[in-house]
A and B are shown apart, each in its own frame.
Chain A
Amino acid sequence: NAGVTQTPKFQVLKTGQSMTLQCAQDMNHEYMSWYRQDPGMGLRLIHYSVGAGITDQGEVPNGYNVSRSTTEDFPLRLLSAAPSQTSVYFCASSPPSGRATGELFFGEGSRLTVL
Chain B
Amino acid sequence: DAKTTQPPSMDCAEGRAANLPCNHSTISGNEYVYWYRQIHSQGPQYIIHGLKNNETNEMASLIITEDRKSSTLILPHATLRDTAVYYCIVRPPRGSGAGSYQLTFGKGTKLSVIP
Contact = CB atoms under 8 A, between A and B. Distances in A.
Interface of A: 4, 31, 33, 35, 40-45, 48, 50, 56, 58-59, 88, 90, 92, 94, 97-98, 101-109
Interface of B: 32, 34, 36, 41-46, 49, 87, 94-95, 98, 100-108
B99 to A, nearest CB: 11
Contacts, number: 61
A43 B34 CA distance: 15
Given A48-B102, A59-B104, A94-B101, 16 more contacts: A42-B105, A48-B101, A88-B41, A92-B43, A97-B95, A98-B95, A101-B46, A102-B32, A102-B100, A103-B46, A103-B49, A104-B36, A104-B44, A104-B103, A107-B43, A109-B41
A58 B45 CA distance: 21
Nearest to B91: A102
16 contacts: A40-B107, A41-B107, A42-B104, A43-B105, A45-B104, A56-B98, A92-B44, A97-B94, A98-B95, A101-B49, A102-B32, A102-B94, A104-B46, A104-B103, A106-B44, A109-B42
